[in-house]
Amino acid sequence: MAKKSAENGIYSVSGDEKKGPLIAPGPDGAPAKGDGPVGLGTPGGRLAVPPRETWTRQMDFIMSCVGFAVGLGNVWRFPYLCYKNGGEISLGQFMKAGSINVWNICPLFKGLGYASMVIVFYCNTYYIMVLAWGFYYLVKSFTTTLPWATCGHTWNTPDCVEIFRHEDCANASLANLTCDQLADRRSPVIEFWENKVLRLSGGLEVPGALNWEVTLCLLACWIVYFTATFPYVVLVVLLVRGVLLPGALDGIIYYLKPDWSKLGSPQVWIDAGTQIFFSYAIGLGALTALGSYNRFNNNCYKDAIILALINSGTSFFAGFVVFSILGFMAAEQGVHISKVAESGPGLAFIAYPRAVTLMPVAPLWAALFFFMLLLLGLDSQFVGVEGFITGLLDLLPASYYFRFQREISVALCCALCFVIDLSMVTDGGMYVFQLFDYYSASGTTLLWQAFWECVVVAWVYGADRFMDDIACMIGYRPCPWMKWCWSFFTPLVCMGIFIFNVVYYEPLVYNNTYVYPWWGEAMGWAFALSSMLCVPLHLLGCLLRAKGTMAERWQHLTQPIWGLHHLEYRAQDADVRGLTTLTPVSESSKVVVVESVM
């Protein structure tokens, strides 16, 4: 039963229910006064916070997760990393909170929530640049001849060659060029990307002027807020065309054939770990926010498996599209696939544009592809911003609720990110973009975040305890392999790759040629540490402010803070522990929670 304290109106849970206070503690560990239960009104006549909304249909949740997790990383980042070398939903659903308050499950480690907020803010800031570039290509596609298909433009150099005919150079009939000279020529696709879109400067220390065309595309992407299946149609068409090109098979073999010597390189491991965490949106808090809007009895276990299969399948499929085109470009230029284009974040803006130039009615397919790219990115961008805003608003006490607070918060967040993004639309913007991409929201930061999330859930809160919580929601205990992953496999792999990367750290380079200055790397590490230090600083701050012996402080600060919806449990803990993966409970014994509908 819930009891109300006459002193401050705080609702708490009796010992017969879950152990732990109901309301979030203040800075000294005591319950914060004036923070009444959500939806029950607040002192002083302020607006009552409406009940937390839920998804109308489970498919809405699935498609939102697919739209967020299956994004540009699948068609942009995954192939680029190949060329160069599930428990968050259930936690959000159980706690009914965003990325910060979800760690009320173990308040001492609430720094994980703040860290995820920092990471997702960085991700929201730089990720949209890929959308802006895609939107720029989309606009340039509405022409009879694609501008990246031919030379002779103002941005082209004398080294630009549209068609690489090696049989002609062998006969010395192509403008008296030797084959070695022809191999040094540049494709108009690469020159359009580097000289027109990026207007690439000499380095990070040469920012140059704003590219106003790309700036307007960036502004359009932030102002505009289809379906999740359209991208697959476009990718299938591009794949069919790609595999029919000469040299495509060599590209696919290069994609699938492992180079075992690369396993000794720490960068390969960090790139692999980065792609998994980035693609699955682990550690960003956005999946937690989406899960918090689920009905309490939603089968999040099944949803997580479905999302994992869709996500990995999309990345794997997109790799075939990219490498079939790279194989053709390598055969056309007479060079090895590894030399056909410089590895970097812009690889997709070289391979995909080249692919559409080979299609009949090329401008139409170019418009469709970059429209697809825009849709992919917008899905992920929307959810990323919403995850960030959800975490922020969950921090506000109920007494501070005001009408349109979400809309105003979203507008302010988008405006701030847009201002920061202006540094990425200058001539040296690509160097800034890669700093964000390499340090702020990937690599070491996500590995560090995932390691501590596993430690807190599996060892501080308790893996068996969390398995019981999931059983309360879905009616049966997940496969024991999940618990072993949380407890051993995932944290060991994360920390192993993290240490491997730190020990064998190499300075950041762009296109294998430009080495960042020391102050550029310092900026990157400042991005990384701004999220990584949230965990230890919050932990130390809480321990120092708390009272009692260190053991008493630890005991008090690791005690979960439950929400009102936990009072609706009808299944007792003893019944939950008796559940197995083969004994789902009946519908009548599941939890019924009163929720509003989104």
| pLDDT tens column, 57-68 | 555 555 556 555
Is residue 540 pLDDT above 70, yes or no?
yes
pLDDT at 71: 53
Please report, rounded to a whole number, the percentage of residues in the chain having pLDDT higher than 70.
71
Q: What is the mean pLDDT of the chain?
A: 74
Is residue 24 pLDDT above 60, yes or no?
no
| CA-closest candidate to residue 67, choices 414, 413, 375 | 375
Per-residue model confidence as pLDDT tens digits over 364-401: 878 877 787 777 777 777 777 877 887 888 777 777 77
Adjacent-strand bridge partners of 515: 509
Average pLDDT estimate for 279-304: 76
DSSP-assigned states of every residue in 126-141: HHHHHHHHHHHHHHHT
Confidence class for position 541, pLDDT limits 50, 70, 90: very high
pLDDT at 167: 58
Angle between helices 111-140 and 518-532 (to 10 degrees): 130
pLDDT at 539: 93
CB 441 within 8 A of CB 123: yes
Confidence class for position 31, pLDDT limits 50, 70, 90: very low
H helical segments located in 422-507: 429-435, 444-455, 463-474, 480-484, 490-503
Confidence class for position 420, pLDDT limits 50, 70, 90: very high
Is 4 in a helix, a strand, or coil? strand
Per-residue model confidence as pLDDT tens digits over 345-357: 566 677 778 777 8
Q: Which residue has the tokens 């849970």?
A: 13
Q: Most confidently modeled of 327-336, 465-474, 569-578?
A: 465-474
CB 326 within 8 A of CB 348: no
pLDDT at 251: 85
In sequence order, which residues have a C-beta less than 8 Å from that of residue 431 and are 6 or more positions away? 201, 203, 204, 510, 514, 516, 520
Per-residue model confidence as pLDDT tens digits over 467-491: 988 888 888 888 888 889 889 988 9
pLDDT at 400: 75
Average pLDDT estimate for 172-179: 54
Is residue 442 pLDDT above 60, yes or no?
yes
C-alpha span between 85 and 98 (Å, rounded): 36
Adjacent-strand bridge partners of 210: 426
pLDDT at 30: 39
DSSP-assigned states of every residue in 88-113: HHHHHHHHT--TTGGGGGSGGGTHHH
Is 25 in a helix, a strand, or coil? strand
pLDDT at 345: 55
pLDDT at 423: 92
Token pair in block for residue 563: 């929400």
Whether pTM > 0.75 for this model: the answer is no
pLDDT at 179: 62
